[in-house]
Amino acid sequence: MNDDIRYNRTFDLLPGRVAEVAPGVRAVVASNPGPFTFKGTVSYIIGRGKVAILDPGPDDDAHIAALLDAVRGETVTDLFVTHTHRDHSPAVPKVKAATGATVYAQGPHRLARALHVGEAGRLDASADMDFRPDIALADGDVVSGSGWTLEAVATPGHTANHMAYALKEADLIFSGDHVMAWSTSIVAPPDGAMSDYMASLEKLARRSEPIYLPGHGGPVREAPRFVRAYIRHRHAREASILRRLEKGAADIPTLVRAIYIGLDPRLTGAASLSVLAHLEDLVARGMVATEGPPSIGGLYRLTEPPLPAA
Ligand SMILES: [Zn+2]
């Protein structure tokens, strides 16, 4: 893809191994690599002695054993969850049962908007519908433990309940799936919403933490600059959609073919949903029109005729 994001796909951690990735932060990666998960979900252990675990990961016994092994002799006081996709939160019940830790998150899984007719159940496979936090966090809430302080940073967009966490002691942010170094984030309605996602990026761009530790892959460095590149990337994607629509009405498969060159075929569904996310936003802003609510099968056109070329 031709854009100005400097992706970093370096990631050497092997499943089951523990690595110190920042002062007071250890990482354990799950063995669930894939087109959406890169090398696997990264679970983080925060602190020493009395620790917190962030994103315990999928319900995978080998990963849960590796995580508990990594904290042998220590006390896990708290569990934090960035969002309720099945690669992030389903290990919570087993880790909680083993440790008695308190579970924090924004809330249970929920959709970014009401379902349209005929849309039901489309994304159930990716969501952990059973997850419930012990304590629901709001934006700006602060939780501290033994030698660590986490500030909840509400970052809806990838999911409606996505929460990033700023670790004060290390001046870094656990960015979950909102900002990752290896790839852009997937924003797929009705789970996610582009307008929320853009607002969450703008919010992070105003913060100063230089390093992000994401839910997949290695750290994001020079994070505020990287986030601004993410924002430009989305604006460019939106501009390509509008440019294609200037040639006439188009459906989503046509737009995907026009915009994504050399797309991994396994990602066609995700790309279609990402285009739908942009179209929902453009329809809400009155720039694009469609019949009824924006849907994956809809036909889209510009609301205004294009300006004549100068
Ligand atoms: Zn996710």
- Which residue is associated with the tokens 């849960």? 64
Those residues whose C-beta lies under 8 Å from the C-beta of residue 188, and which sit 6 or more positions away, are: 123, 270, 273, 274, 276, 277
Q: Is the pLDDT of residue 121 over 80?
A: no
Structure tokens at 191: 């789970």
What sign results for the dihedral spanned by CA atoms 178, 220, 211, 55?
Answer: positive
User: In this predicted structure, what is the pLDDT of residue 264?
Assistant: 87
192/181 Cα distance (integer angstroms)? 20
Q: Is the pLDDT of residue 306 over 70?
A: no
Global model pTM greater than 0.85:
yes
Q: Is the pLDDT of residue 183 over 90?
A: no
- Separation of CA 222 and ligand 1 centre (Å): 23
Percent of the chain with pLDDT over 70: 95
197/277 Cα distance (integer angstroms)? 10
Structure tokens at 279: 């179209």
- DSSP secondary structure string for all residues of the chain: --SS--------PPTT-EEEEETTEEEEE-S--BTTTBT-BEEEEESSSEEEEE---SS-HHHHHHHHHHTTTSEEEEEE-S--BTTTSTTHHHHHHHH-PEEEES-S---SSPPPTT-TTTTGGGB-TT---SEE--TT-EEE-SS-EEEEEE-TTSSTT-EEEEEGGGTEEEEETTS-SSSPPP--TTT--HHHHHHHHHHHHTS---EEEESBSSPBSSHHHHHHHHHHHHHHHHHHHHHHHHTS-EEHHHHHHHH-TT--GGGHHHHHHHHHHHHHHHHHTTSEEESSS--TT-EEEESSPPPPP-
User: In this predicted structure, what is the pLDDT of residue 1?
Assistant: 42
- Separation of CA 84 and ligand 1 centre (Å): 7
153/233 Cα distance (integer angstroms)? 22
- Separation of CA 162 and ligand 1 centre (Å): 9
- Separation of CA 238 and ligand 1 centre (Å): 22
- Separation of CA 52 and ligand 1 centre (Å): 20
- Separation of CA 82 and ligand 1 centre (Å): 9
- Separation of CA 37 and ligand 1 centre (Å): 8
Structure tokens at 74: 């220590």
At residue 147 the predicted structure's pLDDT band, cuts being 50, 70 and 90, is very high
CA angle 246, 248, 253 (to 5 degrees): 105
- Separation of CA 251 and ligand 1 centre (Å): 26
- Separation of CA 55 and ligand 1 centre (Å): 11
- Of 13-22, 40-49, 114-123, 248-257, where does mean pLDDT reach its minimum? 114-123
Structure tokens at 237: 């994607």
256/268 Cα distance (integer angstroms)? 8
The pLDDT tens digits of the residues spanning 1-25 come to 445 678 888 888 888 899 999 999 9
Residue 160 near residue 191 (C-beta atoms within 8 A): yes
- Of 113-117, 142-146, 221-225, where does mean pLDDT reach its minimum? 113-117
User: In this predicted structure, what is the pLDDT of residue 270?
Assistant: 87
User: In this predicted structure, what is the pLDDT of residue 20?
Assistant: 95
The pLDDT tens digits of the residues spanning 59-75 come to 999 999 999 999 999 99
- Separation of CA 264 and ligand 1 centre (Å): 19
Average pLDDT over residues 39-58: 97
- Separation of CA 177 and ligand 1 centre (Å): 5
- Separation of CA 260 and ligand 1 centre (Å): 21
CA 256 to chain centre: 21
Nearby residues for ligand 1 (ion, Cβ within 5 Å): 85, 177
The pLDDT tens digits of the residues spanning 196-226 come to 999 999 999 999 999 999 999 999 999 999 9
At residue 124 the predicted structure's pLDDT band, cuts being 50, 70 and 90, is low
- Separation of CA 247 and ligand 1 centre (Å): 34
